[in-house]
Amino acid sequence: MAADRAKSDMEFLGGRRLRRPRATAWSRAMVRETHLSSADLIWPMFVIEGHNERTGIKTMPGVERLSVDLAVEAAKAARNAGIPALALFPNTPDHLRSEGGDEAFNPDNLMCRALTAIKSAVPEIGLIADVALDEYSSDGQDGLVLDGQILNDETISVMVQSALVQAKAGADIIAPSDMMDGRVFAIRQALDQNGFEHVQIMSYAAKYASCYYGPFREAVGTGERLKGDKRTYQMDYANSDEAMREIAQDLDEGADSIMVKPGLPYLDIVRRARVNFNVPIYAYQVSGEYAMIEFASAAGSFDRQAAMIESLYAFKRAGCNGVLTYFALEAARLLNE
C-alpha cells in the first residue's frame, strides 16, 4: 500500500526526481552552479621589521607576521599556487606611531618597503595596500582625533598622502578601509593628478563595526592601544539599506571594486550588492571568522579543511568575485590538487 502510494506521488510529479543529478560525483560536477578556484582568493599578509623574522599570532593559529624578506618568499609561493593578489598590512613599531599618524606617508615606511620588495621580486602578483591610520596611530583609531572626535576631512588629507607613497612604492590597488566620507574621491583625484591613473581603488565600502576584528588588531598591534570604539565611522551591524548607499557613493566617487567586511555574518549584504550593482564585489573573511574555524576544528567540532572550503564557497555563492582570506595559500593548493 505504501509503495503504491509513493509510486502514485511520483507519477503526480511527472517522474521528476531531483536526486538523480546528485547520484554520482561526475554528475554533481556537471551541474555544479558555483565554482571556486585559486584565482578567487586574495591572501592578507602581515609584515614586520627585521630579517628572517616570523612571529605567531596567539588568536590566529597558523598565521604569522613576516619580515619583508620572508614576505617576498611567501609572495612567490602565492604566485605558484595561482593566487592573483596579496593584501598587505604593516605592524608598525611602537616608536614610529603618533597621534598624527605621520609614518603613514613616510615613503620609506614598512608598508612601502614591503610593496617595493615584493613587486621587484614577483612583478606578476597584484599588491593591495591598506590605507587607514590605525596601523600608524598611537591611539589605534582609523582617523585623526581631536577632543575625542574623529576628524573626517583632516584624516582624508593624510590618507591621500599615504595612498600616493604606496602607489609610488608599487601598489596596484589602493584599499581605503577607514570609512571616512569622501575619501575615495580624494584618493582617485590625487592618484590621477600624480600619474597613477592605472592604480585601482578597492573600497571597503560596507565595513561594519564588528567584534570579529579582534585577532586582526592583535596582529597589527592596535588592540591594546585602541582608545574608545569605531562606531562613529564604521557601520551599525543592524543596517542594510545604509550599506547600499555607502556602496553607491563610493562607486560614484571612482571606486573600481567594493568590499564587504566582515564576510560570513554579512552575506546578505554581499547578495544585495550583487543584485544592485554590476561591479566587482569582494568580501573579507576576517580574523575572527578564521579563528572560529581554527578553534572549533581544534576542539573536534568539525573537519577543518571541509569547513574552510565550504565557507569559501558560501562567499562565491552569495555573489563575490573574490575573497580575502587567511586560508588563501592552503585553500589554493588544495583546490589545485
Q: Which helix (H) or strand (E) holds 35?
A: none
CB atoms within 10 A of CB 134: 26
Residue 110 burial by Cβ neighbours in a 10 Å radius (0-12, 13-18, 19+): buried
Distance from the Cα of residue 53 to its chain's centroid: 24
Let me know: does 223 contact 217? Beta carbons within 8 Å: yes
For the chain, how far is it from start to end, CA to CA, in angstroms?
Answer: 50
Let me know: does 150 contact 168? Beta carbons within 8 Å: no
The residue whose grid cell reads 597558523 is: 62
Q: Which CATH class is domain 38-336?
A: alpha beta
Q: State whether residue 200 is helix, strand or coil.
A: strand
Q: Phi and psi (nearest 5°) for 47?
A: -115, 145
Q: Phi and psi (nearest 5°) for 201?
A: -120, 120
Torsion of CA 128, 66, 144, 107, to 10 degrees: -70
| Residue from 7, 168, 227, 261 carrying the catalytic annotation | 261
Instruction: Walk along the chain (337 residues) and give the pLDDT tens digit of each residue.
Output: 565 665 656 565 667 899 999 999 999 999 999 999 999 999 999 999 999 999 999 999 999 999 999 999 999 999 999 999 999 999 999 999 999 999 999 999 999 999 999 999 999 999 999 999 999 998 889 999 999 899 999 999 999 999 999 999 999 999 999 999 999 999 999 999 999 999 999 999 999 999 999 888 888 877 667 767 899 999 999 999 999 999 999 999 999 999 999 999 999 999 999 999 999 999 999 999 999 999 999 999 999 999 999 999 999 999 999 999 999 999 999 999 9
Separation of alpha carbons 326 and 33, rounded Å = 25
Alpha helices in the chain (DSSP H): 2-12, 25-31, 68-80, 110-121, 152-169, 183-193, 214-220, 241-253, 267-276, 287-298, 304-318, 328-336
Which amino acid is residue 252, in one-letter code? D
The residue whose grid cell reads 575573497 is: 323
Separation of alpha carbons 98 and 57, rounded Å = 24
Look up the pTM and report it. Answer: 0.94
Is 7 marked active-site?
no
Separation of alpha carbons 250 and 235, rounded Å = 14
| Residue from 58, 76, 119, 207 carrying the catalytic annotation | 207
Q: State whether residue 12 is helix, strand or coil.
A: helix
3-state secondary structure 202-250: EEEEEEECCHHHHHHHHHHCCCCCCCCCCCCCCECCCCCHHHHHHHHHH
